[in-house]
């Protein structure tokens, strides 16, 4: 990029900033009323000047027609500018043109009175002071610059002879002779000029109060929106958030009604929401003949210019309601829409995009019956929309999560019911198979050969394994369905551990393993379900036997402590969960094959096998540890595992000495 292009771009940026600042100053509070006041003051000055023409220069049209012509044209241009400014058309251009027309009109009067007198300071000074009081320092600076340029232009034209100095001949006026004109002019126009100054001061004071009230109103708006913003951030229900957002825009920013357009992720369309119990929306629906909530806008709608602008993250202002209803489904009759706008009196529609995570998810549409909406209100609405977008997005996600959770709960219930039914239906014929196999092995129905007995023993063994698997599935289904109940008893924990030891002794003997139990003396009684505790220990010890090689070592150990803070930290468990309750710590350690670190986090998951090769080499389904965890937690306990590949595993769990009710 060349140096010239860089300078040009920099100049354009500065001019854009100046234009925006000038626009801000011209659009101070009570935009319409302010310009109407100035227009009235301009009319008074115009009448006073013509009184001067009639009294002091009755033949001005004959002797110097250009002066009143310039004055009249200037007044006409000024009036046209005020009309367009009030209608918000070409505000910046009309403002500059109005200042130039005013200053040139003043210069034409100054030409009559003599540019070399102090009257120039009065004319230009009052105008610059008024501009600054009414609109701010930038408009004052523009007026001062225009006055200086115009005055210099008049002096140049007179000094070069292009324009001759004004020399009105001494002629009789209707009331007096023009001689002694200066004194008479001062006596007549000084009170008028002072009155104009007082009137201007009154207007300036009036609008300074308007500024103060506008500032107070803005503070009230911000406080209201901040309060509502806090409310919607705490709300999780989508409809509640929508109601609060619409309520906030209406009450906090003074819009007559507000609509919310929100993207529906499931249907890929934009739905519309309206404030509840609002008379205006009810009237709109009555004229349209349908509910606003029944309308939607397809995402592929290309004929709605407002929608296309919103997609580009632009705040837009529309005067016609028809522009916002183009492309709606079902379509809205334009005549009905025009009737709505005419009857209710909507004049401005401010549409602000809702942006969440850099994506436009909807829009807020504020409708006002005022001809002008303050820039500060639009800015505040834009800021509020950012908060509302995040709150709406969070509420939508929360609602989706609730729906997913509900679906998961239903699916889980169906699964549990299915498992329970299937387990029951499978267990009935399997019990018959086991029963008949035992009858055959007992030679009740006749003597069997050795080969037949061996085969039948294998059938009985696998049938018992299958029955154990079915019982585990049934127990898991009961736990997950919340139907598993504990039959609590108070008993010495050593008795259950000894029973488990006796049960697994044949299995240990086959593999020539060493199984030891460590039970300290003087342990207090444990309040638990002895059958389920036995099942927990059998699962853990059975796994240790299964995954420990021949001649390996297995140890079952139990400890008790009243102050078990260290144990709780070891298990990463909150101490207050077991406040004022003693804890039993039971461990089952082996020096078997161990478990890989990446599998430790999923070892207690249902149907989880750490490695497919284990499934082939070691018989198992992954139900035992899942059921063990469920049973421990049913006793309000916690279970954990430590393991290293090739060095063995340590399963440990804590049980409170008595569960809480």
The CA distances from residue 112 to 71, 122, 153, 250, 559, in Å, are: 12, 14, 15, 56, 114
Tokens of 28: 């101070």
Residues 6+ apart with CB under 8 A from 206: 37
Q: What is the mean pLDDT of residues 249-261?
A: 81
* pLDDT surpasses 90 at 237: no
Do 608 and 582 touch, CB atoms closer than 8 A?
A: no
Give the largest CA-CA distance in the chain.
159
Strands 514-518 and 553-561, sheet pairing: parallel
Residue of higher predicted confidence among 53 and 599: 599
What's the pLDDT at 222? 63
Mean pLDDT score across all residues of the chain: 76
The CA distances from residue 508 to 469, 549, 554, 555, in Å, are: 21, 11, 9, 12
Please, is 624 exposed, middle or buried when counting C-beta atoms within 10 Å of its C-beta (0-12, 13-18, 19+)?
Answer: buried
Top-confidence range, 42-56, 179-193, 408-422, 588-602: 588-602
Domain ranges of the chain: 3-213, 237-393, 489-656
* pLDDT surpasses 50 at 157: yes
CA–CA–CA angle 519, 523, 526 (5° rounding): 105
Q: What is the mean pLDDT of residues 632-652?
A: 89
* pLDDT surpasses 90 at 588: yes
Residues 354-394 pLDDT 10s: 887 778 888 888 888 887 777 777 777 777 777 777 777 77
d(CA 321, CA 328): 13
| DSSP percent split of the chain into helix, strand, coil, nearest 5 | 60, 15, 25
Residues 198-225 pLDDT 10s: 666 666 666 666 666 666 666 665 666 6
Look at residue 260 and give its three-state secondary structure: strand
Tokens of 47: 């009448």
What's the pLDDT at 218? 63
Residues 6+ apart with CB under 8 A from 465: 619
Percent of the chain having pLDDT more than 70? 72
Query: What's the pLDDT band for 49 if we cut at 50, 70, 90?
Result: confident
- How many helices (H) and strands (E) the chain has is answered by 20, 13
What's the pLDDT at 255? 85
Q: What is the 3-state secondary structure (H, E, C) of 193-253?
A: HHHHHHHHHHHHHHHHHHHHHHHHHHHHHHHHHHHHHHHHHHCCCHHHHHHHHHHHHHHHH
Residue of higher predicted confidence among 38 and 526: 526
From the candidate CATH numbers 3.30.565.10, 3.40.50.2000, 3.30.70.141, 3.30.479.30, the one assigned to the domain spanning 489-656: 3.30.565.10
Domains 237-393 and 489-656 fall in the same CATH topology: no
Closest CA to 220 of 264, 259, 192, 252: 252
DSSP letter string over 552-577?
-EEEEEEEEES--HHHHHHTT--GGG
When mean pLDDT is compared across 92-101, 229-238, 644-653, the lowest value belongs to 229-238
What's the pLDDT at 555? 94
Residues 492-508 pLDDT 10s: 999 999 988 988 888 88
Helix (H) or strand (E) holding 179: none
Look at residue 547 and give its three-state secondary structure: coil
d(CA 26, CA 169): 44
Query: Which residues are paired to 354 by β-bridges?
Result: 362
Please, is 360 exposed, middle or buried when counting C-beta atoms within 10 Å of its C-beta (0-12, 13-18, 19+)?
Answer: middle
* pLDDT surpasses 60 at 20: no
What's the pLDDT at 403? 81
Top-confidence range, 16-25, 239-248, 331-340, 609-618: 331-340
Residue of higher predicted confidence among 130 and 646: 646
Residue of higher predicted confidence among 55 and 498: 498
What's the pLDDT at 201? 64
pTM recorded for the entire structure: 0.42
Residues 58-79 pLDDT 10s: 777 777 788 888 888 888 888 8
* pLDDT surpasses 50 at 612: no
* pLDDT surpasses 50 at 616: no
Query: Which residues are paired to 348 by β-bridges?
Result: 368
What's the pLDDT at 178? 45
How many CB atoms neighbour CB 336 within 10 A? 15
How many CB atoms neighbour CB 480 within 10 A? 17
d(CA 550, CA 129): 106
Query: What's the pLDDT band for 586 if we cut at 50, 70, 90?
Result: very high
* pLDDT surpasses 50 at 614: no
Percent of the chain having pLDDT more than 90? 5
When mean pLDDT is compared across 308-317, 321-330, 373-382, 539-548, the lowest value belongs to 373-382
Give the E-state strand segments of 451-599 in sequence order. 489-491, 514-518, 526-528, 553-561, 583-590
In terms of CATH architecture, what is 237-393? 2-Layer Sandwich (3.30)
* pLDDT surpasses 80 at 263: yes
Do 627 and 605 touch, CB atoms closer than 8 A?
A: no
What's the pLDDT at 479? 66
**Tokens 């939607």 found at:** 296
What's the pLDDT at 16? 58
What's the pLDDT at 258? 87
* pLDDT surpasses 70 at 511: yes
What's the pLDDT at 587? 93
* pLDDT surpasses 50 at 173: no
């Amino acid at each position: 990029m060349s140096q010239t292009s860089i300078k040009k771009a920099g100049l354009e940026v500065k001019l854009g900033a100046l234009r925006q600042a000038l626009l801000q100053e011209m659009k101070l509070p009570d935009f319409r009323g302010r310009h109407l006041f100035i227009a009235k003051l301009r009319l008074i000055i115009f009448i006073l000047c013509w009184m001067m023409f009639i009294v002091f220069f009755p033949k001005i049209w004959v002797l110097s027609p250009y002066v009143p012509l310039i004055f009249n044209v200037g007044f006409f241009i000024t009036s046209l500018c005020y009309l367009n400014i009030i209608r918000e058309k070409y505000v910046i251009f009309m403002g500059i043109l109005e200042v130039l027309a005013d200053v040139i009109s003043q210069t034409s009067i100054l030409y009559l009175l003599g540019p070399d007198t102090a009257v120039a300071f009065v004319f230009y000074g009052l105008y610059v002071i008024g501009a600054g009081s009414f609109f701010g320092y930038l408009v004052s600076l523009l007026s001062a610059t225009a006055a200086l340029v115009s005055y210099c232009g008049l002096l140049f034209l007179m000094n070069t002879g292009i324009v001759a100095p004004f020399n009105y001949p001494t002629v009789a006026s209707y009331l007096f002779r023009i001689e002694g004109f200066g004194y008479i002019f001062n006596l007549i126009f000084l009170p008028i000029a002072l009155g104009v100054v007082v009137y201007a001061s009154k207007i300036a004071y009036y609008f300074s109060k308007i500024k103060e009230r506008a500032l107070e109103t803005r503070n009230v708006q911000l406080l209201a929106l901040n309060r509502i913003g806090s409310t919607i951030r705490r709300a999780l229900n989508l409809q509640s958030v929508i109601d609060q957002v619409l309520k906030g825009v209406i009450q906090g920013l003074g819009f007559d009604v507000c609509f919310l357009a929100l993207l529906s992720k499931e249907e890929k369309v934009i739905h519309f929401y309206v404030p509840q119990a609002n008379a205006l929306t009810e009237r709109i629906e009555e004229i349209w003949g349908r509910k606003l909530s029944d309308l939607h806008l397809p995402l592929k709608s290309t004929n709605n210019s407002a929608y296309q602008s919103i997609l580009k993250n632009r705040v837009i202002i529309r005067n016609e309601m028809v522009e916002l209803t183009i492309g709606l489904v079902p379509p809205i009759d334009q005549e009905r829409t025009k009737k709505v706008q005419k009857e209710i009196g909507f004049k401005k529609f401010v549409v602000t995009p809702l942006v969440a995570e850099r994506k436009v998810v909807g829009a807020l549409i504020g409708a006002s019956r005022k001809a002008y909406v303050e820039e500060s209100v639009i800015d505040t609405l834009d800021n509020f929309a950012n908060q509302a977008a995040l709150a709406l997005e969070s509420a939508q996600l929360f609602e989706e999560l609730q729906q997913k959770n509900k679906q998961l709960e239903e699916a889980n219930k169906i699964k549990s019911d299915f498992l329970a039914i299937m387990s029951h239906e499978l267990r009935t014929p399997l019990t018959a198979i086991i029963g008949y196999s035992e009858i055959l092995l007992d030679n009740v129905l006749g003597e069997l050969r050795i080969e037949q007995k061996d085969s039948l023993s294998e059938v009985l063994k696998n049938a018992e394994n299958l029955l154990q698997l079915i019982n585990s599935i049934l127990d898991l289904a009961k736990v997950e369905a919340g139907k598993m109940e504990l039959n609590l008893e108070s008993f010495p924990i050593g008795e259950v551990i000894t029973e488990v030891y006796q049960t697994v002794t044949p299995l240990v003997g086959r593999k020539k393993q060493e199984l030891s139990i460590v039970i300290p003396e003087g342990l207090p009684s444990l309040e638990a379900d002895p059958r389920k505790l036995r099942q927990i220990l059998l699962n853990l010890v059975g796994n240790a036997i299964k995954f420990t090689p021949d001649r390996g070592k297995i140890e079952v150990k139990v400890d008790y402590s009243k102050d078990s803070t260290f144990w709780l930290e070891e298990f990463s468990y909150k101490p207050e969960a077991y406040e004022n309750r003693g804890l039993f710590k039971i461990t089952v350690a082996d020096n078997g094959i161990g478990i890989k670190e990446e599998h430790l986090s999923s070892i207690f998951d249902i149907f989880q096998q750490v490695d497919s090769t284990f499934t082939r080499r070691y018989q198992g389904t992954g139900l035992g540890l899942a059921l063990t965890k469920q049973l421990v937690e049913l006793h309000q306990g916690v279970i954990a595992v430590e393991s290293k590949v090739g060095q063995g595993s340590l399963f440990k769990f804590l049980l409170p000495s008595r569960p809480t009710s």
